[in-house]
Amino acid sequence: MNTDNESLSNKRKPRTDGAQARARILDVALRLFVEKGFNGTSVRDIAQAADVNVASIAYYFGDKAGLYRTVLFEPLHGKGEGKDILPPDVTDLEFKTALSRYMELYLTPLGQGKAALQSVRLRLREVFEPTGMLDDEDATRKLMQRRLVDLLALELGVCPPDVEIERLAYSIWALIVHAYIGHDEMQQTTPALFDVPNAVETWITRLTAFALAMVEAERMRRGMTPSNVN
């Protein structure tokens, strides 16, 4: 039997600082889960770092899995466990607009504060160390990636999409991922990338332009007529 769960079953009254204790637990848990993963982080580690007793975690979150689910969802969706809203199929939109919508969907959390940024990083870690707690959203993410592949295939006239279309789609996805993985270093070395008004909107605009340039490079590689999309 997992000692974490044994400890959590022995519920005592939590500390009386209420919302502050809960917020402190969330902040610490999010940081530790991002650093060490679900299996590498114990409830005792979180309790010690948050300066609470283990019973407080049981009181607010039930068990470690409940706490993990909370840090996955709450920073992005609020206290109601939500799912990413899948936008309508964008293949009938003008290509540049469709790409911009895709960027907007994934980059918006960059402007929602530190907790949202960390929660997205934890979700990225789920890709490599899945716990099963994001299975529904993982299906949504995979569907969004397929929609990007289909969008690129339609724009380049390659139907069904071949392996190079798949490669292009993952390269565009990598632009988004690095905005999260490299965020702290970029903010430290070049603060103007984030610490300015409308920073996220600028990132959406720039990454859309970079993605369009990648599409044009693929178009040229295939010997196709250049597009007039700017």
Length of the chain counted residue by residue: 230
> Where does the chain hold its CATH 1.10.10.60 domain(s)?
3-77
Residues 6 or more apart from 217 whose CB is under 8 A from it? none
Mean pLDDT, all residues of the chain: 85
Classify the phi-psi angles of 85: left when phi > 0, otherwise alpha if psi is within -120 to 50, otherwise beta: beta
H or E segment and range at residue 134: none
So what's the pLDDT on residue 213?
96
Which residue ranges in the chain fall short of pLDDT 50?
A: 1-3, 6-16, 80-88
So what's the pLDDT on residue 230?
56
The letter for the amino acid at 49 is A
So what's the pLDDT on residue 215?
97
Task: Look at domain 3-77 and name its CATH class.
Answer: mainly alpha
So what's the pLDDT on residue 61?
93
So what's the pLDDT on residue 4?
54
Task: Look at domain 95-221 and name its CATH class.
Answer: mainly alpha
> Where does the chain hold its CATH 1.10.357.10 domain(s)?
95-221
